[in-house]
Structure formats: structure tokens, C-alpha cells
Structure 1
Amino acid sequence: MRPVSPAEFDALVRRLREAGCVWAEDESRLLVEGADSPEALAGLVDRRVAGEPLEHLLGWAEFCGERIGVRPGVFVPRSRTALLVSAAVAVTGPAATVVELCCGSGAVTSALAGRLTTPRLVAAVDLDPTAVACARRNLADLAVPVLCGDLFAPLPAACRGALDLVVANAPYVPTTALPLLPPESRWHEAPVALDGGPDGLAVLRRVATTAPRWLAPGGHLVVEVGEDQVDELRTVLTGVGLVPEVVRDGDLGATVMTACRPACAGHRRNGPAGMAGRRTEN
């Protein structure tokens, strides 16, 4: 593709900005880089103006410093979910046995692989076959099995009581709030990745109540959650015998809950204390 002239680039930026793209200049540059012909660029721009997620058009999303492959229909990993990764790393020791639920593109597993010390990545799981296919491509080099099924159900029985870390960026948007999401989410991401039921906690309750049967003593469940859902989820976690903590990052606008299956008096030794710029509470 021939280089885009400054005038053509400025026109592209104006068109994206008029369509409501906040980062129109950055998006324009990425679209130009991703097109192999003027016709291809025009098509990408038309689709972006029509509301398709930029990441679906490019075929990748940036997450925790990596390019994660995504495809139409697959949940695009959000920057705020970096807190889920860092909170998981903070509570997990070396040689951890790890499972990701509601894995989507597999972005969290991919990020954890480079941050945990010699992890054993047992599996990533998702209910959506489109997401499973996407995650399998992203995690192929790590040889991580990606299983299609409902939460813990596809895991081998040998994992019961043996997992050091279970992470889940499960859907937590209340059903009534779905119409308030940006159009690119409502129209182009699978509803199963967004809809958390009447109060947003339908899936997270199931994760929380089932996790104790799968966690090893001293193991942790780490989930992303809405700020207004913290108290209710804390009650659920405490009720099944887990010890919850809340981690917040104001810059990311993110809230994460970690929950430990107690093993001994020192079970907090690897807790999230000391995460710079983040607040934790019981």
C-alpha cells in the first residue's frame, strides 16, 4: 500500500473523530498500519465508523504489554483487567497450579504465564465455542489446554482440591445495565461474556460457591467485580469458608477480590499488600 499523505491522514482522523472515536489519531495510525491497500483501509474505516471494535478490525488487542489475538464476537480484554493479573500474581507462590475460567481470548492466562514463577497452567475454560477457538490459538505456544464448558465442569477430577490459583473475569454487568454499554460491546461481543444476571453476580456466585471444592489449602480465587457488588460477593465468599480481600486501583478504575481457602495461620503471607498505588481491605 502506498503511504498515506498528511492530508489523507488528517481526513481520516476527522472522520473517526466525528464518529465518536476518542483516540481518533491513534486509531487512524493503527488502521493505516493494518491495511494492505487503499481499498482495505477504506473498508476498515467504514466498519469502524459503523461501530465495530477497533480490536476486531485489527485482529488483536493490547493487554499487559502483549498483543492478544481477538476475532469478531470475542470479548476484547480491557486494560482494567491488568489489576486481576497483578492481584493474582501477588497472592500466588512459585510452581502454582493455575486455571482460568471465563477465559475469553485467554489474555489473562497469557499474561500470568510470563509473570508467575514456573506455573503449571492446567487449563483455560470458556462456555463460548468462538472464544475457545480464539484462546486455543493464543495459548498454543504455551501448550495450555482450552476447554469448552461451564466453569469447573470440564476440568479433570484430579484437579479437585489441587488448584493453587483460579482466576476469572466472569461477566458481572447486570442484565438491566446491558443497554447502557457502548454499542461496540452490545453489538459485537457475545452476550454470554457480558450478562451477569439480575444483579450482575449470577456467574460469580456460582464460581465462588464451587471454588472451595477445587482450591488446594492455601489456594486463591481471584475475580474482577463491580465496585457496588463488593459487599454482596464478600458475604458469599465468607459464607463458603473463603477469606476475601478487596484490591482497588483508581487509575484503572478496577476492583478485584481475592479469596483464600485457609490452610494455616500464615495463609496471608503472599497476600496483595504492597501493590503500589492499590488499596486492599478485608
Structure 2
Amino acid sequence: MPHRSDRFPSSPSPSSRPALPSRDALAATLRAAGCVFAEDEADMILAAADGDPCAVEAMAARRAAGLPLELVVGWAEFGGRRIVVEPGVFVPRRRTEFLVEQALALAPDAMVVVDLCCGSGAVGAVLAAALGDGVDGDGVDLHAVDIDPAAVRCARRNVESLGGHVHQGDLFDALPARLRGRVDILAANVPYVPSDEIALLPAEARDHEPRVALDGGTDGLDVLRRVAARAPAWLAPNGRLLIETSPHQTPGALTALTDAGLHAELAVCEDRPARVVIGTRRVGGEG
């Protein structure tokens, strides 16, 4: 007859379990893998692992292999909120906080908000949280759109708790028709990397983020032009379209907004750095 201990193996003794690595040791491992902010990343991994040495080891290995830190720990900080980020979804960039700040400064009483090309839904979530219940206490009507099913699933985790709605489809085609002519803030963090420059992106983006969230066509402005052309029909009087762009694409982006009948202007933040083109549907204008 087998011994009782053979039939019912005991749990490993505490002394046989791997030890939790120190912050310094973990930071050294990450720094050797090329992580510039190794100490900060070590803190985030240790917090996400919640005292589990095996989890720390697995996360450190994934990070050392080049997986973006946000995908390793499962979230990104954006606009003061913790945004859930899942594999295969675009990681929100801190520079895009400038777009949110511009939207809130220009339309502090916005009641209808649309987040096109929403990815994780970070922009829409932060806008909705900041706008709160609005001036009438009715709550912000938030709608987020993405063509990628993985992004839509992730965005629902960030947006629906705020009362928002997430739609899958190609830009405006996914929106409820009742929003036409009523959108106060139309935030569109469109893909704007020229197709032949995708290969030049850092490996974290090139290898781990969906091409549909990065590729803006030959000159990087294909999606921006499509958004600008249809935006006036969806914007409320004095509603704003805000799109992030790059320095060399700024003239073309401004032209696209002007050609669509919007009043176009540029906002720049040198510190992050970030550039946002803003199109306003003037009262009495086309749309």
C-alpha cells in the first residue's frame, strides 16, 4: 500500500518556494534587458505581482523579451486613471493627455462625447470622468468606436463603468444616427504613421500593437482626412474635432480640416511633445 504522503503530497514548504526578488535585483535584470526606467518598472511589476515570486519572474521575463510594460502589468496610467490594457491593443501614450486637456479646456460643458479609433478607450474614459454629470446633471453621453474587435472588448472594460457605449465598426458608420449634429467633443486619435515607416517604429509598438492602430497610409493622413471630411455632419454648433498629429504632418492636417469647412487651429505642447489639430464647426456653418 502506498504511503499516505505518496497519495496526498504535502504543499511545498516555505523554504522550498522561490524568494521574492528585491527591487534592486529586479531593476538590475530589467536594466540589463535595456529598460531605461528600470526602477520604476520594477515597482510596477512588484505591485502587480502582489507578493507572488513566480508572477514576478514571469512578468520580468515577458518585459525582458520586449513586451510593453503596460501589457505586462495589464494597465496604463493615463489622465490620472488606471486604464486596462490587453494584449493586441494599442497602448495609450502619455502625450495624448494633451488632446484630452485641450478638449476639456475648449468644451468644459460638453454633454455628447465621441472617441473615434478608441483603442483601449482611454481618451473617452478620462473625458467622461472629468466632465462628470455635466451642467444639467444628466451625465455625459459617451460613445467610443474602434474597428478592431480586441480594442472594442478592452474599451468596454474602461468605458462601460462610466456609463459609456462602445461600438465596433469603421469610424462614423458605427455611431447611432441620433448623434448627428449633436457631438460636442469628437476626439480622434487616428493612426498617423506613414505605411513605409512602420518598420522604423520601436519594437514595442511594431511587434506588439495592431497595425490598424498605427498605419495612416502613404503620408500618414489617410484616416485623418476621412474623419475630417465627415466630422461637420456630426458636430454640434461650436463642436470640436481634436486629432493628434506629428510636426511634419501638421500642414496637411490643418488643410484637411479647412477643406471640410471647419475652423482649423493648432495646439502644441513642447514638453511631452504633442501636437493637436482642432477643427470647430462654426455656428451657422455647413454640416
Question: Which residue of 218, 242, 246 maps to 1:198?
Answer: 218
Distance 1:211 1:81 in 2: 20
Aligned residue type for 2:280 = C
Secondary structure (helix, strand or coil) at the match of 2:71 reads helix
Shift of 1:116: 2.4
Deviation per CA, 1:58-83: give whole Å up to 9, x if none. 11000011100001111111100010
Any gaps of 5 or more consecutive residues in structure 2? Answer: 1-16
Distance 1:165 1:95 in 2: 7
Verify the 8 A CA contact 2:100 2:126 in the aligned structure 1: yes
Aligned residue type for 2:84 = G
Does structure 1 residue 173 correspond to structure 2 residue 205? no
Verify the 8 A CA contact 2:118 2:188 in the aligned structure 1: yes
Does structure 1 residue 139 correspond to structure 2 residue 159? yes
Question: Which residue of 254, 259, 262 maps to 1:239?
Answer: 259
Shift of 1:15: 1.7
Question: Which residue of 24, 40, 49 maps to 1:26?
Answer: 40
Shift of 1:93: 4.3
Deviation per CA, 1:146-192: give whole Å up to 9, x if none. 00000000111121112111111111111111111111111111111
Matched with 2:95 is 80
Secondary structure (helix, strand or coil) at the match of 2:97 reads helix
Matched with 1:272 is none
Runs of 4+ aligned residues of structure 1 deviating over 3 Å after TM superposition are: 1-5
Superposition map of 1:205-224 within 5 A: 205-224=225-244
Larger mean CA deviation between 114-123 and 65-74 belongs to: 114-123
Question: Which residue of 66, 70, 74 maps to 2:81?
Answer: 66
| Cα distance change of structure 1 residues 176 and 95 upon mapping to structure 2, 3 Å threshold | closer
Verify the 8 A CA contact 2:265 2:278 in the aligned structure 1: yes
Verify the 8 A CA contact 1:12 1:28 in the aligned structure 2: yes
Distance 2:183 2:55 in 1: 46
Secondary structure (helix, strand or coil) at the match of 1:263 reads coil
Shift of 1:110: 1.1
Verify the 8 A CA contact 1:218 1:264 in the aligned structure 2: no
Matched with 1:277 is none
Count of residue correspondences: 263
Shift of 1:3: 7.2
| Cα distance change of structure 1 residues 252 and 157 upon mapping to structure 2, 3 Å threshold | same
Shift of 1:2: 8.4
Distance 2:127 2:108 in 1: 12
Aligned residue type for 1:100 = D
CA RMSD of aligned residues (A): 1.7
Secondary structure (helix, strand or coil) at the match of 2:227 reads helix
Secondary structure (helix, strand or coil) at the match of 1:245 reads strand
Secondary structure (helix, strand or coil) at the match of 2:119 reads coil
Superposition map of 1:1-282 within 5 A: 4=20, 8-35=22-49, 36-116=51-131, 118=134, 120-263=140-283
Distance 1:114 1:201 in 2: 30
Percent of aligned pairs sharing the same letter: 50
Q: Which has the higher helix share?
A: 2
Aligned residue type for 1:201 = L
| Cα distance change of structure 1 residues 120 and 11 upon mapping to structure 2, 3 Å threshold | closer
Matched with 1:278 is none
Matched with 2:7 is none
Greater relative CO, 1 or 2 (CA 8 Å, sep 6+):
1
Deviation per CA, 1:108-162: give whole Å up to 9, x if none. 1111112226152241000110010001011121121100000000111121112
Aligned residue type for 1:185 = A
Verify the 8 A CA contact 1:166 1:220 in the aligned structure 2: yes
Verify the 8 A CA contact 2:152 2:167 in the aligned structure 1: yes
Distance 2:198 2:111 in 1: 36
